[in-house]
Structure 1
Amino acid sequence: MTNYFVVPGLGNSGPNHWQTYFEQQEPNFKRIEQREWDTPASADWIENIDQALSGYDLSTVVLIGHSLGVTAIANWAKHYKKRIKGALLVAPSDLEAPKYTFSTEGFDKVPLEKIDFKTIVVASENDEWVTLERAKYFADHWGSKFVNIGNAGHINTDSGFGEWKEGLEILKTLE
């Protein structure tokens, strides 16, 4: 059985977000809660990811990240160097873009080291937080499969992504 861990981005994912929809599908989906959602510290977030996975057979673990949660997963992979089954990385935010002015600690650059497990980056052609080119750049560095889903905004609730069946189908390709 695969154990899925949801890693939301800045501000957490609300009740109508696709990550919440995913969690409601199966009992083996769990959200990794963070102490601070609005002014996050990278060290805290990656430690929480690692603690959430303790006690699980890592070969059964799939992480599901959105936005800043994608960067947290990339930082976790870089710091802990553990191999899991895979990760779905949706709408990575470009932390180096001039528009990204959120108050975060340790989330100043997107790590570009190859990720040592199977990953899929899903991006949009009109995401306000990352250009398609930058998302592809991240995917190339991480060694990820890259999926462009067209004009889908930031692939969040505001962009109409609640019940995201296509996303669940993409997730299944990590099996």
Structure 2
Amino acid sequence: MRTSDADILIVPGLSGSGPDHWQTRWEQKLSTARRVEQADWERPIRELWTERVASEVAASARPVILVAHSLGVPTVVHAAGRFAPGAVAGAFLVGLPDVERPDMPSEIDPAFSPLPRDPLPFPSVLVASRDDPYCIYERAEDFAYSWGSAIVDAGQAGHMNAESGYGPWPEGLMRFAGFLKLL
């Protein structure tokens, strides 16, 4: 699949991915990409966030490719059952936070936990870091297997955000292009 054949929905996490974040750069670079805007980026409420993603998928005219980072990943996983069959062609998931950990930031709605373990009804890949402060690699790997997602070991990459040095992230864009070729 080519990017021009799909609606690419960028699904940021907490704080909405700032101007230097790779998601923002991809949104600007990819002509069919648009951000799923949330009403409150600082106080995520699972029901509101998942409903917003589901409504954006429903409003799309072409097959959807979801590109989620951080809390956007649990948002997509929780919303997956709300998508019409075949509406989502695939999901590129990056930097899963383990929302089941007791030390997650207090502003995150506890309803994000537990994470569903059902297989996702579309192809997906989860890119995980060996030193992500929000999720140990083995947990990310376990979730990926539950969802039927391919797992990509990003090595020592932190949370794969601008603060970790992942502004442009050309390697991620190449990995994304490879994922699209499989769809």
| TM-score interval (norm. to shorter) | over 0.9
Does 2:41 match 1:47?
no
Cα distance in 1 for residues equivalent to 2:81 and 2:66: 15
Contact 2:128 2:137 in 1 (8 A): yes
Deviation at 1:79, TM superposition (A): 4.0
Are the counterparts in 2 of residues 120 and 146 from structure 1 also a CA contact under 8 Å?
Answer: yes
Gaps of 5+ in 2: none
Alignment of 1:30-109 (within 5 A): 30-57=34-61, 60-80=63-83, 82-83=85-86, 84-105=88-109, 106-109=111-114
Residues of 1 paired with 2:99 and 2:57: CA distance?
Answer: 26
Deviation string, structure 1 residues 69-106 (Cα, Å, up to 9, x no partner): 00000001134464311000101000111321332332
**Is the 8 Å Cα contact of residues 5 and 30 (structure 1) preserved in structure 2?**
yes
Q: 1:81 to 1:97 in 2, by over 3 A?
A: farther
Partner residue, 1:150: 155
Query: What are structure 1's unaligned runs of at least 5 residues?
Result: none
Q: In structure 1, what is the Cα distance between the partners aligned to 2:85 and 2:68?
A: 17
Aligned counterparts of 2:154 and 2:97: Cα–Cα separation in 1: 16
Work out the CA distance in 1 between the residues paired with 2:10 and 2:155. 23
Quote the sequence identity (%).
36
2:164 is aligned with 1:159: yes
Aligned length: 174
Runs of 4+ in 1 over 6 A off after TM superposition: none
RMSD: 1.4
Mapped to 1, the partners of 2:126 and 2:84 lie a distance apart of: 19
Partners of 1:63 and 1:87 within 8 A in 2: yes
Provide the rounded CA distance (Å) in 1 between the counterparts of 2:57 and 2:83. Answer: 12
TM-score, normalised to structure 1, is 0.94
Q: Which has the higher helix share?
A: 2
Contact 1:17 1:156 in 2 (8 A): yes
CA distance in 1, matches of 2:21, 2:78: 23
Contact persistence 1:6–1:64 (CA under 8 A): yes
Residues 54, 82 of structure 2: 8 Å contact kept: no
Matched, 1:28 2:32: yes
Task: Output one character per residue of 1:119-151: Cα deviation in whole Å (capped at 9) or x when no partner.
Answer: 000000000000000000110000000000100
Contact 1:8-1:65 within 8 A present in 2 as well: yes
Q: Secondary structure at the match of 2:14?
A: coil
